[in-house]
């Protein structure tokens, strides 16, 4: 586990962007945190790092479940906020996006625990002040351990 201390929305977005530059097809990024903790902001940075058109507005897909953005790899932005049971998650048919040709970023990933693959990179966003956050970065699996090592070299101090 690594810790990142964000003192502004720009720093949270920059962390997401750094992850996007390192991401590969099939990567799964899980995001947890309270409403307003910066999950969607992080995904906006992730989109930028994946080469999504900077003019594209990244918004939370709370009511549509998923938005797809095109970049050097597709970004599948999934929001599980309204999903309450494992059966509801299974009925969504998201398997092709979780290990497919792009990067899946899942907000409210804890609503899918038990149904999501065991290997993923989790970002736990926590308020520490009005604009400040502590972000725990938890890699599960060799691929994500290597990604966090590269991220640490590039961004974390």
What is the spatial distance between Cα 28 and Cα 16, in angstroms, rounded to a whole number?
13
Are the C-beta atoms of residues 124 and 105 closer than 8 Å to each other? Answer: no
DSSP tag of 139: E
**Alpha helix segments (H runs only) across the chain:** 9-22, 39-49, 86-90, 95-98, 142-154
Condensed to tens digits (0 to 9), the pLDDT of residues 60-110 reads: 888 889 999 999 999 999 999 999 888 888 888 888 899 889 999 999 999
- The model carries a pTM of 0.93
| Closest CA relative to residue 12, chosen from 53, 55, 46 | 46
Domain boundaries, the chain: 2-154
Question: CATH classification of 2-154, choosing from 1.20.120.330, 3.30.413.10, 3.40.50.300, 3.30.2000.10?
Answer: 3.40.50.300
């Amino acid at each position: 586990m690594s810790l990142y201390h964000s003192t502004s929305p720009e720093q949270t977005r920059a962390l997401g962007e750094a992850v996007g530059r390192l991401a590969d097809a099939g990567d799964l990024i899980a995001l947890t945190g309270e409403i307003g903790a910066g999950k969607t902001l992080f995904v906006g940075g992730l989109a930028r790092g994946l080469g999504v058109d900077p003019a594209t507005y990244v918004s939370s897909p709370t009511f549509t479940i998923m938005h797809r953005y095109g970049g050097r790899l597709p970004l599948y932005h999934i929001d599980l906020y309204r999903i309450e049971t494992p059966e509801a998650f299974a009925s969504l048919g998201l398997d092709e996006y979780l290990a497919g040709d792009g990067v899946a970023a899942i907000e409210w990933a804890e609503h899918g625990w038990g149904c999501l693959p065991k290997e993923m990179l989790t970002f736990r966003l926590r308020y520490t002040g009005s604009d400040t956050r502590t972000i725990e970065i938890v890699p599960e699996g060799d691929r994500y351990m290597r990604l966090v090592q590269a991220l640490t070299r590039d961004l974390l101090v």
